[in-house]
Amino acid sequence: MIQSPSMQQKKHNPTWEHIKLFIWVVLIFELLLFCLALVVGKHTDFRLAFNVCLWLGLIIAVIFLSILLLNLLGIVTFSFLERMHTALSSRRNADTAAVNFYDIPELKGILSNADHVDVKTVQGRVSLEGFIAAMLSFRPAWLVFFYRIRKVFVRLLGMRQDDDPGILKPLRAEDIPFQSGKTASFFIVRHAEKDRYWIAETPDDKHLRAFLGIFRQTVNQKYCRFHVMTVVHYKHWTGPVYFNVIRPFHHLVVRQMALAGTKTSQGKA
């Protein structure tokens, strides 16, 4: 069981970030529509032009407000489910000695002042290398579809775009590096120790820094517990905007990737 670090403090309120985004988008669109009404009104009828733009503005406002509310609902729902899962896991594992991976010196630096931290825990009979390889090779059709939709949103924010997961080569246990600076899929290894943990970072981006940590805990002679951690640091206003929009999908995707990691036949422990 992983304990939350006392140093962890959020610098951004997701709800406030959504509200700011909503206000700015609506103001920009309304300003554009007002300018359009002035231009069109000169050549037609000002009253008709302003009425048309007013209704268009209301439609745009309703659409963005709906997106805002749905996303906030998704954040609340997944947060509730995560707490439920954590509570149930704690009860099931009460007889197991607690392991505090936050004692790893390198991880303390990564967690310091992080804006988002979440941990998914699964159990299986597989080595750390096999788990990582299967997890990063998990690319069902629905996940590839999500990534392609994400590309459109990422392009609008001017963020870095990763390779399409549909064209990435599946990984094997022996392909997973444990040397700092080496890459696996589009992750760059930062800190790793065989049979214990593997901490990697996504490529440099001006909007946010994202880390993936995978920790292996021995339960008994047959089974191991894997803790999959995501750590995010915002660097630009687009960072929280992007992450809060994809947050519900993030929880779904990482959970399914972690489960896929335990079902591989590679590197059985």
Residue pLDDT tens, the chain, 269 long: 444 443 444 444 555 655 666 677 777 777 777 777 777 766 777 677 777 777 777 777 777 777 777 766 766 776 676 677 666 655 554 444 445 666 778 788 898 888 888 889 898 889 999 999 999 988 888 887 877 777 776 666 666 556 555 556 788 888 899 999 998 888 999 999 998 899 999 887 878 899 999 999 888 777 888 999 999 999 887 788 788 777 778 888 899 999 999 987 665 65
Q: What domains can you pick out in the chain, each with its CATH number?
A: 100-262 (3.30.530)
Query: DSSP per residue over the chain, as a string?
Result: -PPPPTT---SS-HHHHHHHHHHHHHHHHHHHHHHHHHHHHHHS-HHHHHHHHHHHHHHHHHHHHHHHHHHHHHHHHHHHHHHHHHHHHHHHTTTSPP--GGGSHHHHHHHTT-SEEEEEEEEES--HHHHHHHHHT---HHHHHHHHHHHHHHHHHT---PPPGGGSPPP-GGG---STT-EETTEEEEEEETTTEEEEEPPP-SSEEEEEEEEEEE-SSS-EEEEEEEEEEE-STHHHHHHHHHHHHHHHHHHHHHHHHHS--TT--
